Homo-oligomer: A and B are copies of this chain.
Amino acid sequence: MRERPPHSMKPAVRKTTLAVDVVVLSPQADTLAALLVRTAPGGRERWSLPWDAPLPGEGLEDAAARITEGALGATPALLEQVGAFADVRRHPGDADVSVGIVALTPHAESALVAGAEWFSLAALPPLPPRHRAIVDRATTVVRQRVDQSPLAFRLLPPMFTLSDLQGIYELLLGRRLHKASFRRALQASYLVEPTDEWRSEGRGRPAQLFRYAPRKRRGARRGVRFDLFTDG
Contact = CB atoms under 8 A, between A and B. Distances in A.
Contact of A81 (B14, B39, B84, B227): B84
A122 interface: no
Nearest to A92: B10
B7 A39 contact: yes
Interface in A1-49: 2-4, 6-8, 10-19, 37-41, 48
A181 B70 CA distance: 51
Nearest to A16: B18
A226 B148 contact: no
Interface of A: 2-4, 6-8, 10-19, 37-41, 48, 50-54, 56, 59-60, 70-71, 73, 81, 83-84, 86-87, 92-97, 99, 111, 113-116, 144, 146-150, 169, 173, 175, 177-178, 181-182, 185-186, 188-189, 191, 214, 217-218, 220-232
Closest 10 interchain pairs by CB?
A: A6-B115, A189-B226, A7-B37, A214-B232, A13-B17, A15-B15, A11-B52, A147-B225, A8-B41, A84-B99
